Structure 1
Amino acid sequence: MLQQAKDTKVSVQLGVMSQCPDALLCESVFKDVVNNVADKIDLSLVYVARLDPFQNKGVWCLHGPQECEGNIQQLCVAKYTPFSKWWEFVQCQNYQGRYKIGLPSTALQCAEATHIDWEGSGAQACAEGDEGIQLLKDSIKLGNRLNITKSCTVLINEQKICVHDSTWKECENGHSVKDFVKQIEEEYGRLNSV
């Protein structure tokens, strides 16, 4: 009897703020990383913000309430659509320019561009309701647990490997697409060695 091949994906998390220039740069680098290793990673975004009961929705975002909306939209699309659609949606929002991320019109435009049924998928109801707010609060708590304080922080299997904060920092093994791909490939090999 043949043994089933093990296939454990590498957890890759980007600590971001949806309107942050560092996040947009980081996500654009990871667009090329994903093209190389999409089948070996489980990529997610973890949002850097603060729980604050005195703010609208109980959350404070560095670039303002519209950034909170952008974070929520991206989390809801991630929950209700396949990875490839969600990742395209994030790239589309980024392409519109950071000050348009979070606007309902941008979310709708990007949903249409990426063939997401904004209303029918559940993403819109999530983004406009309590579910989206809860997803953002849970993401912030995860970011706190992982000690993510800067956008953009790159983690592989919950270990910080690099930060982009105006410039690349703390990137012991490099910060190019090739460097990230190599680190992911090595981790994938380690996780799946028999």
Structure 2
Amino acid sequence: MLTRVVWSALSLVPSVCAGLVAEQQPFSNAPDIISTTASDVKVPVTLGVMSRCPDALLCEAVFDQVLKKVADKVDLRLTYIGKLNSSEPVFGVECLHGPQECAGNVQQLCVAKYRPMPLWWEYVMCQDYQSKEKVGLADIALKCARVVGIDWETSDVGRCAGLDGSGTGEEGIALLKESVQATKALNVEKSCTILINNEQICIHDETWKECENGHAPADFVRQIQAAYDKLNEGFSMI
């Protein structure tokens, strides 16, 4: 398991999704998450991302801090930005940062499908830690699987994404196409776009934008807590 993640400085050259990733700790080691009842309603939280996008890495770093406080109150998912293209020979999807990003998307989707939080999140954090240039590489996919305790070559995750770690498994590619379509249905176009309870509340696209209620980890924690309280009105806490 990762015990400490220290982010390297990313290039500041402007791009569609340029950004800078900050130092963070994995949320799974945090002692201060407040327990909830088994019957509570989780808050849907969606991050619209591209796996090799610096803005996505920054967003995920911020949400690693958020999850230290509210991991048990959210239903978190990543949804991937791309464009369906039947002429694309491997994935049938165009990814902004190239086929390697499509592979990274597939790897993350397969881990998220077959492993629970916080394990799949820790897998994403491991990939991010290697640097955006390495997300999607087969050796990094296998390395991060070992770090978080996934036996890739013999597991459902590996069969989904490709036993060689390539991210070209048939099931994984189908998941990527579904994710791209779902992202389009949400009208998410920028990585990283943050939705809380199905409402777009903030974007990081080179800088923070359209974040009416703030963009610090504490701001997202506050908004999630408010949504959680509203969704669970009438429930008796044990």
- TM-score greater than 0.5 by the shorter chain: yes
1:121 deviation in Å?
A: 2.8
1:166 maps to 206
2:43 maps to 10
The one-letter amino acid of 2:107's match is Q
* 2-structure distance, mates of 1:41, 1:117: 27
Q: Does 1:51 align with 2:91?
A: no
1:80 deviation in Å?
A: 1.0
* 1-structure distance, mates of 2:72, 2:132: 29
* 2-structure distance, mates of 1:51, 1:61: 9
- Structure 1-normalised TM-score? 0.96
Change over 3 Å in CA distance of 1:5–1:16 after alignment to 2: closer
1:33 maps to 66
SS of match in other structure, 2:154? coil
The one-letter amino acid of 1:185's match is Q
1:116 deviation in Å?
A: 1.4
1:109 maps to 143
SS of match in other structure, 1:164? strand
The one-letter amino acid of 1:58's match is G
The one-letter amino acid of 1:157's match is N
1:93 maps to 127
Q: Does 1:79 align with 2:106?
A: no
**Unmatched 5+ residue regions in structure 1?**
none
1:131 maps to 171
* 2-structure distance, mates of 1:167, 1:155: 17
1:120 deviation in Å?
A: 2.9
1:84 deviation in Å?
A: 1.0
The one-letter amino acid of 2:170's match is D
Contact 1:173 1:179 survives alignment (8 Å): yes
2:14 maps to none
**Of 76-85 and 118-127, the range deviating more from structure 2:** 118-127
Aligned residues: 191
**Unmatched 5+ residue regions in structure 2?**
1-36, 163-168
Superposed CA RMSD in Å reads 1.1
RCO greater where, 1 or 2, for CA within 8 Å and sep 6 or more?
A: 1
* 2-structure distance, mates of 1:86, 1:37: 16
- 1:116-156 CA-to-partner distances (Å, cap 9, x unmatched) read 12123311111122100010011011101100000000001
1:5 deviation in Å?
A: 7.4
SS of match in other structure, 1:98? coil
1:157 deviation in Å?
A: 1.7
The one-letter amino acid of 1:171's match is C
Deviating above 2 A after TM superposition, structure 1's stretches of 4 or more consecutive aligned residues are none
The one-letter amino acid of 1:28's match is A
2:219 maps to 179
1:152 maps to 192
1:6 deviation in Å?
A: 4.3
